[in-house]
Amino acid sequence: MSQTPANVVVTGAAGNIAYSLLWRVAAGDVFGPDRPVNLTLLEIPEAVRAAEGTAMELNDSALPLLNKITVTDDANKAFDGAQAAFLVGAKPRGKGESRADMLAANGKIFIGQGQAINNGAADDVRVLVVGNPANTNAYIANKAAPDVPADRFNALMRLDHNRALSMLSQQLGVSSTAIERLTVWGNHSDTQFPDITYATVDGNPVEVDRTWYTDEFIPRVAKRGAEIIEVRGKSSAASAASASVDHMRDWVQGTAGKWTTAALPSTGQYGVDEGLVFGFPVTGENGAWEVVDKLELSDDQRARIDANITALKDEAAIADKLF
Ligand code: NAD
Ligand code: LMR
């Protein structure tokens, strides 16, 4: 272990997603097989004991890269020196609820945590918001941390991307690795737009039945979270953790020119209002995301993207009142 350990914070550490995520991070799946990690588990006071149980199990796993574990309910202590933060801790929705319904219950969490990140996180901090509504919670955390560059606040839309990739590869009967240039625009909500316009399979344009694309694929990807809740009885957890690892790994290590999807604060790309945390096609370059620019949009694509801008502006207006 010659490298300095990476300081990683996971909030909601006693919850379902963290129970999968913590092991993946500690196994080197984000920072690579040579970089040790210090894990800080942040929980609310009532769940600290359960998080201590998770920490005991992490210790019992004798993971070679796991250097140190801290369990706390103090956000300022947790984020002091943080280099990667997974903001998972938040209430999941139940059957019949929308993710935007969770803004009232969860939004305020991200003010306090954004402030704590502003106070003490490392200069190279990267924050990935997972707790729902993820895009607007990332907007809130960013707003609460004026001294941290806005591009350090992302929201998880890699799960939507992975769902789209998997469904498309099954439809085409190919491995998901054969498909490139897929993206999911917008909000991690029912309005999201999984877009195959530019997608290729083995380097050739993807050709699918238009009715399958508009009437089955797009709504099924967009509503997959609710489908999982219906079938599993609980919201997605291992797939969300896996997508969180994919997102943070590609942010840190890059994508070698390949497209993926990340939700990040807009700087005005594609007519998205500055500051809204929006899912874009991106590549990972030198530890930062580059939005794929100058794509031509059809009227249909434009309308689907605009629906997401409207939804996120409405959520941001509610979020602004929480401050
Ligand atoms: P969970 O209920 O199993 O765990 C959540 C944990 O967060 C609990 O242990 C709770 O005590 C903790 N928590 C609550 N407030 C906290 C705070 N202020 N600080 C620290 N911890 C806090 O839920 P889960 O299944 O792990 O899901 C967590 C969140 O992730 C939910 O909001 C869910 O909707 C969301 N989610 C998002 C995606 C995505 O793609 N963006 C995917 C799946 C789930
Ligand atoms: C998901 O997409 O699985 C999560 O956002 C959980 C949910 O509420 O759908």
- Which residue's C-alpha comes closest to atom 4 of ligand 2? 225
Residue written as token pair 């609820």: 97
Alpha helices in the chain (DSSP H): 16-26, 48-60, 75-79, 103-106, 109-120, 134-143, 158-172, 210-211, 218-222, 224-232, 238-253, 299-320
Helix (H, G, I), strand (E, B) or coil at 54: helix
- Nearest partner of 146 among 115, 167, 170, judged by Cα: 115
**66 sits in which H/E element:** strand 66-72
Binding-site annotation: residue ranges for NAD(+):
12-18, 106, 113, 130-132
Place of tokens 């010659």: 2
- Distance (Å, whole) CA 163 – CA 194: 9
Q: What is the pLDDT of residue 2?
A: 63
CA of 77 to the centre of ligand 2 (A): 29
Q: Is the CB of 235 under 6 A from ligand 2?
A: yes
Atom number of ligand 2 nearest to Cα 160: 2
Question: 115 CB less than 6 Å from ligand 2?
Answer: no
pTM over cut 0.95? yes
Task: Confirm whether 161 is a catalytic residue.
Answer: no
Does residue 236's CB lie within 6 angstroms of at least one atom of ligand 2? yes
Atom of ligand 1 nearest to the CA of 109: 18
Cα–Cα distance measured from residue 1 to residue 161, given in angstroms and rounded to the nearest whole number:
34
pLDDT at 103: 95
DSSP letter (8 states) at residue 81: T
Give the distance (Å) from ligand 2 centre to CA of residue 259: 23
Task: Identify which ligand lies nearest to the alpha carbon of 17.
Answer: 1
Q: Which residue reads 């797009």 in tokens? A: 218
Report how far ligand 1's centroid is from the alpha carbon of 174 (Å).
34
Ligand 2 pocket residue status of 70, Cβ below 6 Å: no
Spatial distance between the Cα atoms of 163 and 240, rounded to a whole number of angstroms: 10
Distance 166 CA to ligand 1 centre (A): 24
Instruction: Considering the candidates 188, 224, 247, 249, report the single residue annotated as catalytic.
Output: 188
User: Residue 100's pLDDT is what?
Assistant: 85
SS (HEC) of 242-279: HHHHHHHHHHHHCCCCCCEEEEEECCCHHHCCCCCEEE
Best probe residue, ligand 2, of 162, 227, 228 (max atoms within 8 Å of C-beta) = 228
CB of 206 within 6 A of ligand 1: the answer is no
Q: Which of 8, 250, 251, 34 is nearest to 122 (CA)?
A: 8
Residue 147's CB is within 10 A of a number of other CB atoms, namely 8
**Of 11, 165, 3, residue with least CA distance to 91:** 11
Q: Is the CB of 131 under 6 A from ligand 2?
A: no
Q: What is the pLDDT along the chain (323 residues), one digit of tens a residue?
A: 469 999 999 999 999 999 999 999 999 999 999 999 999 999 999 999 999 999 999 999 999 999 999 999 999 999 999 999 999 999 999 888 888 889 999 999 999 999 999 999 999 999 999 999 999 999 999 999 999 999 999 999 999 999 999 999 999 999 999 999 999 999 999 999 999 999 999 999 999 999 999 999 999 999 999 999 999 999 999 999 999 999 999 999 999 999 999 999 999 999 999 999 999 999 999 999 999 999 999 999 999 999 999 999 999 999 999 99
Question: Ligand 1 within 6 A of 235 CB?
Answer: yes
For residue 94, the model assigns a pLDDT of: 86
